[in-house]
Amino acid sequence: MAALSKKTISEKTLIILLGPTGVGKTELSLRIAEYLGSPIISSDSRQIYKHLPVGTAAPTPEQMERVKHYMVGTLGLTDYYSASNFETDVMALLQELHQTIPAVVMTGGSMMYIDAICKGIDDIPTITPDIRNAIYSQFEREGLAPLLQELERLDPIHYDEVDRMNYKRVIHAVEVCRMTGKPYSSFRTNSRKERPFKIIKIGLTREREELYDRINRRVDRMMESGLLDEARSVYPFKQVNALNTVGYKELFRYLDGDWTLETAVEKMKRNSRVYARKQMTWFKRDHEITWFHPGMEAEIIEHIHVRL
């Protein structure tokens, strides 16, 4: 397809191609980016780290030759990064790109990262390494229960709202309470920020059986492509947040001697399917998304063309 004439694009636009893991975002995003003459911004919270190309299904060198990518492989495993950091970095990047490229493509499935760009993140204070390390050390020694008790005492409002099984969210709230001496809930305004560009959201979806089969086969391909060796290479860093994700967690249990490799792979497939369900539950709340099967490329291009 020939690139769309920039003269036909009346205003700065961000085109977001989103959907659950394994649905088929990568190849379609490349074709749309080529059509528009745009780079691709990754909104995947794990592809931003180095040394994880197989387990994060990062774009290959050949794909990055086809289209320039941003926010891929730029951080070390121990670097702290959040949706708030992503908002700051990508908003600055878009300001630069939109000077010469009116329509920019962003793709990924990390829900908080996408919301950070579309709606904005509340201005939560940055946590110092000392506080973060102290709380994670306490969590490793004592578990989550003492931190939940602390959160209930310091911020009963957020304690009633938070998913108490999600240790990362509990820990982050306690970090903010300790860092500022104020309740975490006092920083949450939930106000939507205005953006200096139009946003077009395109969701990709498949029938559940079809998606689950793709996820299962993708895990098999990852294993064939060296995911176990990749997990072994980063095993010394297994406690860092960057590796607290499907694929590595299960293989670490194998490397720890807790599971057989067969069990780890089956758990990886199951947990990937669970994550896909969580992604779709999150995305389905957003009525600004127009949904397509990934095979409907012509219809997707027409949808974009009409709205530019």
Average pLDDT estimate for 145-158: 93
Give the DSSP H/E element, type plus range, for residue 269.
helix 261-284
* 5 CB neighbour count, 10 Å cutoff: 8
Question: Residue 48 domain-assigned?
Answer: yes
The CA distance from 259 to 251, in Å, is 9
36 and 163 fall within a common domain: no
- State the Cα–Cα distance between residues 188 and 141, nearest whole angstrom: 30
- Do 227 and 243 contact (CB within 8 A), yes or no? no
Q: Do 17 and 29 meet the contact criterion of CB atoms below 8 Å apart?
A: yes
State whether 15 and 155 are in the same domain.
no
One domain, residues 84 and 228: yes
Supply the range of the domain harboring residue 147: 129-187
Same domain, 168 and 210: no
Task: Please check whether residues 40 and 144 belong to one and the same domain.
Answer: no
Tell me what percent of the residues of the chain surpass a pLDDT of 70.
Answer: 97
Report yes or no on 295 lying in a domain.
yes
Instruction: Report the range out of 116-130, 237-251, 254-268 with the highest average pLDDT.
Output: 254-268
- Whether residues 196 and 78 fall in one domain: yes
- Give the CATH number, domain containing residue 256: 3.40.50.300
18 confidence band (pLDDT: 50, 70, 90)? very high
Our count of domains for the chain comes to: 2
Residue 241, sorted as left (phi over 0), alpha (psi -120 to 50) or beta, turns out to be alpha
- Predicted pLDDT of residue 80: 84
CATH of the domain at 133: 1.10.20.140
- Please check whether residue 1 lies inside any domain of the structure: no
3-state secondary structure 175-207: HHHHHHCCCHHHHCCCCCCCCCCEEEEEEECCC
Helix axes 248-255, 227-234, angle to 10 degrees: 70
Co-location of 172 and 248 in the same domain: no
Q: Is residue 19 part of a domain?
A: yes
Q: What is the pLDDT of residues 81-133, one digit of tens each?
A: 888 899 999 999 999 999 999 999 999 999 989 999 999 987 777 788 889 99
* 79 occurs within a structural domain: yes
The reply to whether 165 falls in a domain is yes
pLDDT average, residue stretch 28-57: 96
Structure-token match 């999150």, residue found = 282
* Structural tokens at position 72: 């891929």
User: Is residue 145 a part of any domain in this protein?
Assistant: yes
Q: Which residue has the tokens 């379609």?
A: 28
Q: Is the pLDDT reported for residue 212 higher than 60?
A: yes
Per-residue pLDDT averaged across 288-295, rounded? 97
Same domain for 301 and 219: yes
pLDDT score recorded for residue 274:
95
Same domain, 282 and 135: no
| Cα dist from 175 to 21, 78, 227, 297, whole Å | 30, 18, 33, 44
